Chains A and B, each alone.
Chain A
Amino acid sequence: GENVEQHPSTLSVQEGDSAVIKCTYSDSASNYFPWYKQELGKGPQLIIDIRSNVGEKKDQRIAVTLNKTAKHFSLHITETQPEDSAVYFCAASTGGAGSYQLTFGKGTKLSVIP
């Protein structure tokens, strides 16, 4: 089955700096890669996703890049703010190809220091 590795497990940045979280996956059939943000006491919430037919996607201060050949994808957060502090999870799925099972990385705890 799919295996998703996520690094780093913890990340501290100064407010205004950029943060990068990286994930690798093992199943070349995976074609859907969402990123979730989990705030304390809440369920994960989708912040951005990318499908295998594109290499990069941006939404304001958040961007995701995908390298299908190397089987890795990354989350980039620019101009970080204290409210970005949370646990971030990457995931992979074969999506519409028949399986909707999300395989998650183990998470990255991001701390933005004011």
Chain B
Amino acid sequence: EAQVTQNPRYLITVTGKKLTVTCSQNMNHEYMSWYRQDPGLGLRQIYYSMNVEVTDKGDVPEGYKVSRKEKRNFPLILESPSPNQTSLYFCASSLIGTGKETQYFGPGTRLLVL
């Protein structure tokens, strides 16, 4: 089944404790992206990647890191989480090319930073 998977689905942590949220897709998509969803703010892009070893900032990159060492994986790293990073996080992926822009979303990771 074609899908985007995220782990963990739920995470409670404390301020300053490094964490990684994994994202993996099995559709051979070049493009991958991380979003955060907050009440009243919709979805905002954190980072994206056009292909292996190619990443760039989205609209709200502060406090986050990403890497793209393999095509299928795009982990989101919070080096020193803070309470304002409490949010619902989504990973998405798509092909690249006109007519292929449909982004497929993972199930989400709900993060609480105490």
Contact = CB atoms under 8 A, between A and B. Distances in A.
Contact of B105 (A41, A45, A97): A45
Interface stretch (B12-20, B35-43, B60-68, B75-83): B35-43
B18 to A, nearest CB: 25
B45 A107 contact: no
Given A44-B90, A101-B45, A101-B58, A49 B108 contact: no
B101 A93 contact: yes
How many of chain B's residues touch chain A, expressed as a range? 20 to 34
Interface of B: 4, 31, 33, 40-45, 48, 50, 58-59, 90, 94, 96-108
Interface of A: 1, 6, 32, 34, 36, 41-46, 49, 51, 89, 93, 95-97, 100-107
19 contacts: A32-B101, A42-B108, A43-B90, A43-B108, A46-B103, A46-B104, A51-B99, A89-B42, A89-B43, A100-B33, A100-B94, A100-B101, A101-B33, A101-B45, A101-B58, A102-B103, A103-B45, A106-B40, A106-B42
